[in-house]
């Protein structure tokens, strides 16, 4: 199973994104390999909000109809939320978000080691980055 971060979803969908060519290639490879794709409910909310704002309703509709059905979504509970919120405050880094910390926790809780992302924070956390 491969975790998919918001940065990867956006790079795949936005042809003007500087990472789009690489993202499109990795996305095709993942789909062809048959590997399961996952994200947290927080990453899903973040992704949908950014798609709607940056790319519009048609892109959001396409994401909802074509991508969402193939995802395993790890729904964040209160305990995970609180642990991630504590991690954000402990890290004391402006660039490290609650969504990042939720993603790290969800990946560790579910034994996921690979992530499709263009975000350096995952490397810092010791995950294997695809992208």
pLDDT in tens, 12-26: 999 999 999 999 999
So what's the pLDDT on residue 87?
Answer: 96
pLDDT, residue 49, reads: 98
Rounded distance, CA 14 to CA 16, Å? 5
DSSP secondary structure string for all residues of 8-41: HHHHHH-TTSTTHHHHHHHHHHHHHHT--EEEEH
Q: Which fold has domain 2-76+112-125?
A: Rossmann fold (3.40.50)
**Cα–Cα distance measured from residue 107 to residue 86, given in angstroms and rounded to the nearest whole number:** 17
Residue 17 main-chain phi, psi, to 5 deg = -70, 135
Partners of 113 in beta bridges: none
Q: Return the pLDDT at 131.
A: 79
Task: Answer yes or no: are the C-beta atoms of 18 and 131 closer than 8 Å.
Answer: no
Q: Give residues with Cβ within 8 angstroms of 49, minimum separation 6.
A: none
* Residue ranges per structural domain of the chain: 2-76+112-125
* pTM score, whole prediction: 0.95
Q: What residue ranges of the chain have pLDDT lower than 50? A: none
């Amino acid at each position: 199973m491969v975790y998919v971060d918001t940065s990867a979803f956006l790079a795949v969908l936005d042809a003007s994104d500087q990472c789009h060519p690489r993202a499109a290639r990795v996305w095709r490879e993942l789909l062809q390999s048959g590997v399961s794709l996952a994200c947290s409910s927080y990453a899903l909310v973040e992704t949908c909000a950014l798609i709607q704002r940056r790319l519009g309703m048609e892109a959001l509709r396409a994401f909802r109809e074509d991508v969402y059905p193939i995802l395993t979504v790890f729904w964040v509970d209160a305990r995970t939320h609180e642990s991630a919120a504590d991690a954000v405050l402990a890290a004391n880094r402006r660039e490290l978000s609650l969504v990042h910390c939720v993603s790290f926790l969800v990946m560790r809780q579910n034994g996921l080691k690979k992530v499709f992302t263009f975000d350096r924070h995952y490397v810092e956390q010791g995950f294997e980055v695809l992208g």
